[in-house]
Structure 1
């Protein structure tokens, strides 16, 4: 669980197609956040937590930073293995690259997850734990 996090992308339209697709797989949504960004989260009624996705250079970036240079990892909680699989298929169909097909992970206990790289190389994961992972 998180309050918010953010990633900088190089092509907002391409990123929006990717995140719109995985939002659908999770039952989430995206919302405009000005001409250079959008938000990925639950809904306008429940706006937090969210992922900010945009092309604006953050003021806190150190010199030399750019989109994709510092790979970010974001794991989204899925309710079932089917949701993990839907995320994975939607991501691959909309510009994502495989970084670990859906399945259990060695040494992680009751865990089922999938990893994809978004269009800018950020590692995006969907996972479920406990009974949902069986």
Structure 2
């Protein structure tokens, strides 16, 4: 693991919380801790993805979330679109390496959000 956690500053915490809660649920990621002006997500006991409404202007961020398999990549993409995300690359293989399989959406604040798995079919 390279990152301990990633944080985003968002323009509308409530809308972003709803989006990420829905989009990340298929990946087993949920809200672990929240407080005044922030919300932390994770798949275990340690929150690794944080959003907050205080800080610099939102935008310009790319985040790649781990998916267990290709079916989870598809589930993420579908859930993110239903939650209001914009398609930025349908589920499929990418040229990064032979087993790379990802899907991309643009979230409510213009962030490029990806789910990816690195296992062959």
TM-score in same-fold range (> 0.5) = yes
CA distance in 2, matches of 1:13, 1:32: 14
CA-to-aligned-CA distance 1:34-74 (integer Å, 9 cap, x gap): 1211011113xx215x11101011xxxxxxx4112xx1111
Counterpart in 2 of 1:41?
42
CA-to-aligned-CA distance 1:84-132 (integer Å, 9 cap, x gap): 000001101112111100000124221110011110011110011123x
CA distance in 2, matches of 1:77, 1:95: 21
CA-to-aligned-CA distance 1:18-46 (integer Å, 9 cap, x gap): 11112211112113421211011113xx2
CA distance in 2, matches of 1:98, 1:51: 21
Moved over 6 A (4+): none
Counterpart in 1 of 2:69?
80
Q: Which runs of 5+ in 2 are unaligned?
A: none
CA distance in 2, matches of 1:78, 1:25: 9
Alignment partner of 1:120: what SS?
coil
Q: Which runs of 5+ in 1 are unaligned?
A: 58-64
What is the Cα-based RMSD across aligned positions, in Å? 1.4
The answer on whether the counterparts of 1:23 and 1:40 sit within 8 Å (CA) in structure 2 is no
CA distance in 1, matches of 2:34, 2:54: 11
CA distance in 2, matches of 1:108, 1:120: 29
Q: Which has the greater radius of gyration? A: 1
Alignment partner of 1:130: what SS?
coil
TM-score (norm 1): 0.83
Question: How many residues in Structure 1 have an aligned counterpart in Structure 2?
Answer: 120
CA distance in 2, matches of 1:39, 1:13: 13
